[in-house]
Amino acid sequence: MTTEITPAVFADRVTIRYGQKTAVDDVTLSIAPGSVYALLGRNGAGKSSLVRALLGQQRPDAGTIRLLGEDAWRRRDTLMERVGIVPEDSDAPPDMRVSSIAKFWASVYSRWSASMFDERLRRFGIAPDTRFGELSKGQKKQVALALALATSPEVLVLDDPTLGLDVVARKSLFEEVISELADRGITIFITTHDLPGVEAIADRVGVLKAGRLVLDEELETLKARFRRVRFAARPVALANGNLATAAVRAWGSGTEVVVTNFDDLAMERFGASDVAEVAPMSLEEIFIAVAGEEA
């Protein structure tokens, strides 16, 4: 008899509206415990609204969200003890010292680990007596991450954590997340515009477009079925090859196509003379094809 595993995060037909505007439109997703889920979308796609609902800060107009098996809205007080959050803007009183922020955190979270926090500060090279206002943007994010992880969370929510960081700070933050994932197997839910960075750690990817979840699948499966195909001539009779496309554009005297259901058999139907190039695509390229402007 198989035991059913409860998703760490489960959204069931969630809709969020602001007056006449629908920010999140009938979204359903499920995130397995111990996995890394990257939610992508252009500005205004609905990511922040969905994150607020996931954290119980906002009640959906329709649908439900279950976090660690419990209703995120009704059980927020107890659930937040088990969830670490690194917000888009890490903020604290500018004159407050990092050690004082940690002391406050320790009074709120019963699972607080001072040794874990101190060790991470040492790795980041941040002195505990530094005032928060004296930290760089990258250091503020590092303090926020250290605070979140020192609460021993079962779920870690990273809301665009690398926004505004330089390449060194971004690399450091992602390496810290990878290390923590390997050590403790916590579930990570991340929204980000740093697609190359998240591509190295994500297990599953979702793409929001105008509030709708237009893509939700394992990253490796996604990358296996997307290809950039260049044909020597145009127009190309794509339907005859049973190819589904996300984008089609002119390429010199030929045609460049983003194929979303690539397989060798379908390509063989065109013949080698028709196909000039077949190339795999990065997550960033796939995102642009799926969520960018209409072709």
- In the block, tokens 């009704």 appear at 74
Between residues 263 and 45, which one has the greater pLDDT? 45
Amino acid at 226: F
3-class DSSP assignment, residue 44 = coil
Task: Decide if 3 is inside a domain.
Answer: no
Task: Decide if 86 is inside a domain.
Answer: yes
Do 152 and 35 share a structural domain?
Answer: yes
Tell me which of 90-94, 260-264, 286-290 is least confident.
260-264
pLDDT score, position 237? 59
Do 132 and 18 share a structural domain?
Answer: yes
Tell me which of 12-21, 100-109, 181-190 is least confident.
181-190
Do 181 and 163 share a structural domain?
Answer: yes
Do 274 and 188 share a structural domain?
Answer: no
- In this prediction, what percent of the chain has a pLDDT beyond 90? 61
Do 206 and 274 share a structural domain?
Answer: no
Average pLDDT over residues 76-88: 91
Is the omega angle on the peptide bond into residue 235 within 30 degrees of 0, that is, cis? yes
DSSP-assigned beta bridge partners for residue 22? 17
pLDDT score, position 295? 40
Query: Mean pLDDT for the chain?
Result: 88
Q: What span, in angstroms and rounded, lies between the C-alpha atoms of 41 and 292?
A: 9
Decide if 46 contacts 211 (C-beta within 8 A).
yes
Average pLDDT over residues 87-108: 92
Q: Residue 49 class from Cβ within 10 Å (0-12 exposed, 13-18 middle, 19+ buried)?
A: buried
Q: What span, in angstroms and rounded, lies between the C-alpha atoms of 160 and 254?
A: 38
Tell me which of 59-68, 76-85, 227-236 is least confident.
227-236
Do 204 and 232 share a structural domain?
Answer: no
Q: What span, in angstroms and rounded, lies between the C-alpha atoms of 25 and 9?
A: 18
H/E element, 133: none
Give pLDDT tens digits for 169-221. 888 888 777 767 756 779 999 999 889 888 988 999 999 999 999 999 999 99
Task: Decide if 212 is inside a domain.
Answer: yes
Q: Residue 64 class from Cβ within 10 Å (0-12 exposed, 13-18 middle, 19+ buried)?
A: middle
Give pLDDT tens digits for 33-53. 999 999 999 999 999 999 999
3-class DSSP assignment, residue 269 = coil
* pLDDT at residue 104 is higher than 70: yes
Give pLDDT tens digits for 129-156. 999 999 988 889 889 999 999 999 999 9
Do 100 and 65 share a structural domain?
Answer: yes
pLDDT score, position 3? 66
* pLDDT at residue 78 is higher than 50: yes
Parent domain of 202: 9-221
pLDDT score, position 168? 83
Do 211 and 121 share a structural domain?
Answer: yes
Average pLDDT over residues 108-135: 93
Decide if 242 contacts 267 (C-beta within 8 A).
no
